[in-house]
């Protein structure tokens, strides 16, 4: 019997024209509640040049979140490695591990996190190294494990730092498997990412050390409310915001649900929203947990991670509480217990360890 953990991915979205400081304060508030409720991880993202998304430097936000939480694991979801040197990233995550020992994950992606102009602005005098992603991962792991000594990594990690590969493509699934790293499937980013990615990852898994086991994180969208009426209002709001922020890129923050309930999607918008709707979980706490259960079964996932973006902070906090209650979480996920969402039987079930 494998235990499924429940975690959160946060992009620090802006509500309306609120300052970024408010988005970051909301992220910290959500992380504090997640810590108390027993969620397993809290990851923050890296996006650039999008006025709606304030999370561009995950490592800095994590230092603030770490100071306000006590147990929940903290991670970059992720650092877009092609923009940076592996040595610099090793310094960053090692510093975090010294600040918050035993709590740091390094989620690493190959995507640009922005447009071409962003990629070149971050790269300065060199080309973004997208084609060298696998090589950079090897170098990064070498520094963190002490296999590369020159130049010296200071500070050195005080505890092992799990490296997770983020992706939504067959290439990323194979790479994560071959490198023996946990694999996070960003289905909330690409709803076309299917369960075949998890199967491909497991088929190609080569243990990085004798105790390593494959570990699949399925990242999706989930939002719960006290009743079906409020849940439907929030569901509609999420998709209207998706249309304006990502499809139209209008540069505005989240709109309140009271302003979006009568919005009519055009044909193209309805098609895009339909794709998103197939991979999301909305409803009461019990309904959301049931849907997440089905997703985990489909992907043979070891862990579910979700976004829960709302205009009102109170809706996000209530959603986390409702999901935790429906899942039977007891607030001890990172204090010694498994923090399980539910049990899932799998033919190859084995104790899950984080490599």
List pLDDT tens digits, range 6-48: 999 999 999 999 999 999 999 999 999 999 999 999 999 999 9
Say if residue 226's pLDDT is above 50.
yes
Say if residue 342's pLDDT is above 80.
no
Kindly tell me the burial class for residue 130, based on how many C-beta atoms sit within 10 Å of its own C-beta (0-12, 13-18, 19 or more).
middle
Q: Is the dihedral of CA 102, 305, 282, 238 positive or negative?
A: positive
Q: Would you state the pLDDT for residue 330?
A: 81
Q: Would you state the pLDDT for residue 343?
A: 54
Say if residue 338's pLDDT is above 60.
no
Report residue 349 as tokens: 């079930």
Q: Would you state the pLDDT for residue 312?
A: 98
Say if residue 344's pLDDT is above 60.
no
Q: Would you state the pLDDT for residue 124?
A: 60
Q: Would you state the pLDDT for residue 37?
A: 98
Contact yes or no for 4/268 (Cβ under 8 A): no
Q: Which residue is associated with the tokens 């918050």? A: 100
List pLDDT tens digits, range 186-211: 999 999 999 999 999 999 999 998 98
Return phi, psi of residue 222, to 5°: -145, 140
Give the long-range contacts of residues 258-265, CB within 8 A, separation 24 or more: 260/236, 261/233, 261/236, 261/237, 263/236, 265/239
Q: Would you state the pLDDT for residue 246?
A: 78
What 3 state SS string does the chain have?
CEEEEEEEEECCECECCCCHHHHHHHHHHHHHHHHHHCCCEEEECCCCCCCCECCCCHHHHHHHHHHHCCCCEEEEEEEEHHHCCHHHHHHHHHHHHHHCCCCEEEEEECCCCCCHHHHHHHHCCCCCCHHHHHHHHHHHHHHHCCCCCCCCCCCCCCCCCCEEEEECCHHHHHHHHHCCCCEEEECCCCCCCCCHHHHHHHHCCCCCCCCCCCCEEEEEEEEECCCHHHHHHHHHHHHHHHHHHHHCCCCCCECCHHHCCCCCCCHHHHHHHHHHHCCEEEECHHHHHHHHHHHHHHHCCCEEEEECCCCCHHHHHHHHHHHHHHHCCCCCCCCCCCCEEEEECCCCCCCCCCC
Mean pLDDT of 300-307: 98
Which is higher by pLDDT, 45 or 340?
45
Mean pLDDT of 163-191: 97
Predicted TM-score (pTM) of the model is 0.91
What residues are paired with 10 via a beta bridge?
44
Mean pLDDT of 300-327: 98
List pLDDT tens digits, range 96-143: 999 999 999 999 999 766 667 777 777 766 666 778 899 999 999 999
| CA gap 333, 338 in Å, rounded | 5
Q: Is the dihedral of CA 59, 60, 61, 67 positive or negative?
A: positive
Closest residue by Cα to residue 333 from 320, 346, 316: 320
Report residue 124 as tokens: 């300065």
Kindly list the distances between the CA atom of residue 246 and the CA atoms of 158, 164, 240, in Å, as whole numbers in the listed order.
40, 26, 10
Contact yes or no for 44/83 (Cβ under 8 A): no
CA 99 to chain centre: 21
Say if residue 219's pLDDT is above 90.
yes
- Domain ranges for the chain: 2-344
Report residue 264 as tokens: 């009519």
Percentage of the chain lying above the pLDDT 70 cut? 89
Q: Please provide the average confidence, as pLDDT, over all residues in the chain.
A: 91
Report residue 227 as tokens: 């009743």
Hey, which CATH number is domain 2-344, 3.40.228.10, 3.40.50.620, 3.30.750.24, 3.20.20.30? 3.20.20.30
Q: Would you state the pLDDT for residue 346?
A: 38
Say if residue 354's pLDDT is above 60.
no
Q: Would you state the pLDDT for residue 350?
A: 32
């Amino acid at each position: 019997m494998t235990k499924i953990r429940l975690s959160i991915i946060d992009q620090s979205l802006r509500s309306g024209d609120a300052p970024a400081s408010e988005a970051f304060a909301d992220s910290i508030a959500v992380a504090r509640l997640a810590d108390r409720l027993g969620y397993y991880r809290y990851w923050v993202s890296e996006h650039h040049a999008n006025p709606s998304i304030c999370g561009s430097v995950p490592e800095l936000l994590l230092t603030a979140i770490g100071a306000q939480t006590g147990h929940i694991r903290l991670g970059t979801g992720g650092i877009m490695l092609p923009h940076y040197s592996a040595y610099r990233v090793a310094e960053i995550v090692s510093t975090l591990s010294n600040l918050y020992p035993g709590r740091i994950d390094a989620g690493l992606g190959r995507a640009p996190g922005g447009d071409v102009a962003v990629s070149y602005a971050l790269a300065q005098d060199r080309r973004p190294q997208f084609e060298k992603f696998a090589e950079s991962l090897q170098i990064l792991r070498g520094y963190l494990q002490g296999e590369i000594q020159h130049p010296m990594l200071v500070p050195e990690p005080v505890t092992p730092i799990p490296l997770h590969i983020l992706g939504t493509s067959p290439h990323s699934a194979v790479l994560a498997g071959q490198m023996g790293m946990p694999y996070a499937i960003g289905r909330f980013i690409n709803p076309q990412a299917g369960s075949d990615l998890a199967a491909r990852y497991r088929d190609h898994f080569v243990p990085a050390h004798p105790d390593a086991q494959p570990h699949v994180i399925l990242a999706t969208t989930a939002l719960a409310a006290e009743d079906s009426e409020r849940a439907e209002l929030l569901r509609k709001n999420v998709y209207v915001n998706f249309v304006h922020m990502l499809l139209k890129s209008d540069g505005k923050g989240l709109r309140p649900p009271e302003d979006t309930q009568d919005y009519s999607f055009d044909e193209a918008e309805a098609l895009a929203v339909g794709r998103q709707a197939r991979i999301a979980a909305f409803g009461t706490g019990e309904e959301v947990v049931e849907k997440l259960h089905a997703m985990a079964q489909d992907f043979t996932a070891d862990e579910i991670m979700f976004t829960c973006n709302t205009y009102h902070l109170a809706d996000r906090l209530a959603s986390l509480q409702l999901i935790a209650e429906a899942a039977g979480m007891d607030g001890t996920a990172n204090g010694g217990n498994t923090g399980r969402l539910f049990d899932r039987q799998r033919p190859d079930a084995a104790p899950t360890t984080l490599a």
